[in-house]
Chain A
Amino acid sequence: MTATAHPGAAAHQDDRSFIRKYVFSTDHKVIGIQFLFLSLFFLLVGGLLAMGIRWQLGFPGQPMPLGGWLPQSVAPGGVVAPKTYNSLVTMHGTFMIFFAVMPLLVGVFANYLIPLKIGAPDMAFPRLNMWSFWLMIPSGALMLTSLFVLGGSSAAGWTVYAPLSSTPDYSGVHLGQQLWCVSIVIFGLSSLLGSVNYITTVVNLRAPGMRWFRLPLSVWALFITAVLAILAVPILAGAVIMLLFDQTIGTHFFQPDASGQPLVWQHLFWFFGHPEVYILILPAMGIVSDIIANGARKPIFGYTSMVYAMIGIAFLGFIVWGHHMFQSGMNPTLASSFMVSTIVIAVPSAIKVFNWLGTLWRGSIHFTTPMLNACAFVAMFIIGGLSGIFMASTPVDMYIHGTYFIVAHIHYVLFGGSLFAVFAGIYFWYPKMFGRQMSERWGKVHFVLTFVFYNLTFFPMHILGIGGEMRRIYDPTVYDFLRPLQPINVFITINAFLLGLSQLVFAVNFLGSLFKGEKAERNPWHDTGLEWTTPSPPPHGNFAETPHVYHGPYEYSVPGMAEDYLPVDTPPAPAGAAAGRHA
């Protein structure tokens, strides 16, 4: 609640050197934008790896287009080798989860939005913040390097189950797996530094009047996410260090031959891994809540229940990890208790969906590109949430666990959910970040293409899963019972390529608008948030004067007002002069 901005701090001459301003910057906005470029790059890497996976599944054993460029050891005659396939699957998951979606949601939006939305001049620890970005560089570089070392990159799945991951003799991967571990430990450090910063900033640097229950849901979501990350990421880092020791200095934490326990790895991994799933969806929910209220020109329906639902998800998120291990050999009675907690966590997710619908109800919906993406998030999250119920039921999970059903489910949540929210967020805050608008027309073209090809790619995977097709298999046609499903795989592959190509529209729009986009005004979406009271882009220090907050975050279409939005820093009119509500 203390604001440290000196009045006029932003107005003074910005005399930082180029390097301090754009490279080793401590400005949260620059760091957010740095994260944006870095994570979009990794999204591209992860996407290209996915194309390799899809080629092999659609056309097993046929030479891949451009495959002839790859070394013979990786793709003999242009055909993906089995070990290469395992590496593709592993690194696709790794890059997407740790280097694309998580930094896109947290690195970009927590950094860029938190100080602007709570009325702070910068983060509580700007230098720590700079480190959190610059640690991602060695982390990402090591992970990329691991693709090119002798023996190839990690090939044990992104979940790197021991002892396959911990014993080079079993996987044929030596250095690649060690680099994976070192990279993830550095990633964990980066994530922790960021989280400490976000939490401290939200607790201490809110502008006067920005009470907890006036925080936009995006800030709530990012705050709760930071709490989850600070509790879960150290577990991953610890487990990964143990794994690295098993590989390199002969410890036996996860090796059964010296009374180690492979299941211990799974417990540690998923104790991190399930909160991680919510780390990847909560910020998306927050971003979408802000955009839906803006697009529907209505207050968010049930603001407090939205906040408590997120807190509920965060708490329950720590006691559901066992549902990844129903078939792992864990005691079946323990599995039953995890089934109950897993089923219960569906309730707050349902509450959120109904509240988004309530927000749209009787609104005046503007179909801007961000709004279209936000609505797609809701539509896809419904599917991802409902398909999760199948897995929560232990006997049904017994059949669909480890099949394409689960691949469909995770992509409905992480692509249909998180990535549509990321697109919504980028289109929405781009004018604030860069001072120019992205093209609405091309934004809509990108949206329609992505929405159609996304569904044509991932929905049929449910059918593959029901047919019993296992995930992570190099060639499904080895099995008689899977051969009839092969036309579906061909169909998915074609649509996956089209989905990939559609992203070129986004890339061109994103990069082109940096130079050719229409100049953005302060508040192009007529939003109530504090960030829109600053120039686009905001100067170093954000606010010329520390803002004062008088209203809740979603005062749209307040009765009796001419404008259909009431910025949070508008001082209330003298009593009786206006009917505006001051929440």
Chain B
Amino acid sequence: MHWWFPSNASSVGGQVDSLFYVILYITGAVFVLVEAALLIFLVRYRRREGRKAEYIEGSTKAEIIWTAIPAVILVSLALFSQPLWSKIKDADRFPPNAARIGVEAKQFEWHFTYPGPDGKLGTDDDFMNIDSLHLVLNRDYVIELTSRDVVHDFFIPAFRIKQDAVPGMKILVWIRPTVAGTYELACAELCGLGHYRMRAVVYVETQQDFDAWLKSEGIAASSPTDSTAQAGKGAS
């Protein structure tokens, strides 16, 4: 039975998981201590004959302690989280040599646009396919995420990456797959009737396999291609 995280397959997933575990251990310890204190008090101070409750109105010292300790722990958590967050989401810090892929979400499909041999998106040699995303292992990608209709969400659980696709905005998402395999891309924002089946498959493969895929689709990897051979060509 696999009842935990899907195994990680991206460069940032390990750090996201580590942060999750740090929070899990801290909150887990707090959970056990506080719930145990609650239970012990409920049992120990239950009503018994001959014992009266003690008249205690509070303690300034206790208030200071239980304000300061959570505050320190929580603020350090924020400080721990911040650098990882900027690294993952701040477009200014993305690797400059990353390959670009256009991802357009529409009800209820994912459209992927790859740059042709010129390596640039938005030129005539771009090619497109629907509902399957092919990525080369250990390569940096910056995804240009857009939506044609409503708000969708680009979620690859194995990469620990999630980003809304918003109509009218182009949002950049950096990913670097580090484990070859087949993964699932899900829409994680309610987008209408077919939201639950807005699914795509992500193939992370070696350069050779990637080239073989291109070839099978009728696209030569290194030379300009014949436009009639491409079924889905021409997406902007």
List residues of A whose CB falls within 8 A of some B CB.
Answer: 82-83, 86, 89, 155-157, 161, 163-164, 167, 170-172, 256-257, 259-263, 296-299, 301-305, 327-329, 332-333, 335-336, 339-340, 343-344, 346-347, 350-351, 353-355, 357-358, 360-367, 375, 378-379, 382-383, 386-387, 389-390, 392-396, 398-399, 401-403, 463, 466-468, 470, 472-476, 478-481, 484-485, 487-488, 556-559, 564, 581, 583
Contacts and interface: CB of A to CB of B under 8 A. Distances in A.
A475 B196 contact: yes
Contact of A170 (B89, B107, B155, B187): B107
Contact of A332 (B34, B48, B90): B90
Given A161-B150, A256-B166, A347-B71, 4 more contacts: A86-B192, A358-B56, A395-B16, A468-B186
B59 A466 contact: no
Contacts of A156: 190
B119 interface: no
Nearest to A298: B53
B37 interface: yes
B149 A305 contact: no
Given A299-B56, A396-B20, A379 B107 contact: no
Contacts of B168: 256-257, 259-262
B121 interface: no
Nearest to B48: A364
Which A-B residue pairs are the 7 nearest by beta carbons? A256-B168, A468-B157, A302-B58, A474-B196, A332-B89, A473-B196, A364-B53
A480 B34 CA distance: 38
A358 B62 contact: yes
A360 B46 contact: no
A164 B191 contact: yes
A366 B149 contact: no
Contact of B184 (A86, A363, A394, A481): A481
Contacts of B186: 468, 470, 479
B77 A467 contact: no
A378 B74 CA distance: 20
A358 B16 contact: no
Interface string B56-68: 1111001100110
Contact of B55 (A298, A344, A347, A354): A298
A346 to B, nearest CB: 5
A77 B53 CA distance: 61
A481 B46 contact: no
B194 interface: yes
A399 B98 CA distance: 23
Interface of B: 1-6, 12, 15-16, 19-20, 23-24, 26-27, 30-31, 34-35, 37-38, 41-42, 45-48, 51-59, 62-63, 66-67, 70-71, 74-75, 77-78, 80-82, 84-86, 88-90, 107, 149-151, 153, 155, 157-158, 160-169, 171, 183-184, 186-197, 199
A434 B168 CA distance: 57
A460 B41 CA distance: 27
A343 B199 contact: no
B85 A171 contact: no
A238 to B, nearest CB: 21
B46 A401 contact: no
Contacts of B78: 339-340, 343, 392-393
B42 A402 contact: no
A512 to B, nearest CB: 28
B117 to A, nearest CB: 31
Contact of A398 (B16, B86, B197): B16
Contact of B1 (A262, A363, A392, A484): A484
Nearest to A266: B151
If over half of B's interface residues share one DSSP class (helix, strand or loop), that class is named, otherwise mixed; here it is mixed
Contacts of B150: 161, 163-164, 167, 170
Given A393-B19, A472-B190, A350 B66 contact: yes
Contacts of A357: 34, 37-38, 41
B167 A346 contact: no
Contacts of B162: 327, 398-399, 401-402
B66 A365 contact: no
A549 to B, nearest CB: 18
B74 A327 contact: no
B187 to A, nearest CB: 8
A464 to B, nearest CB: 9
A478 B57 contact: no
B188 A329 contact: no
Nearest to B57: A299
Residue among B71, B77, B167 having the largest count of chain A Cβ atoms under 10 Å = B167
B19 A344 contact: no
Contacts of A296: 45, 53
Nearest to B66: A354
Nearest to A460: B3
B29 to A, nearest CB: 10
B199 A478 contact: yes
Contacts of B2: 467, 484
Contact of B86 (A83, A304, A332, A556): A332
13 contacts: A89-B190, A256-B167, A296-B53, A302-B62, A327-B162, A344-B71, A358-B56, A363-B41, A364-B46, A395-B81, A398-B16, A398-B161, A475-B196
A556 B12 CA distance: 55
Given A161-B151, A332-B85, A364-B45, A396 B190 contact: no
B55 A363 contact: no
A365 B45 contact: yes
Contacts of B56: 298-299, 301, 358, 361-362
Contact of A301 (B58, B90, B107, B194): B58
Given A302-B59, A475-B196, A363 B45 contact: yes
Contacts of B166: 256, 262-263, 328-329
A470 B24 CA distance: 20
Nearest to B187: A470
A17 to B, nearest CB: 47
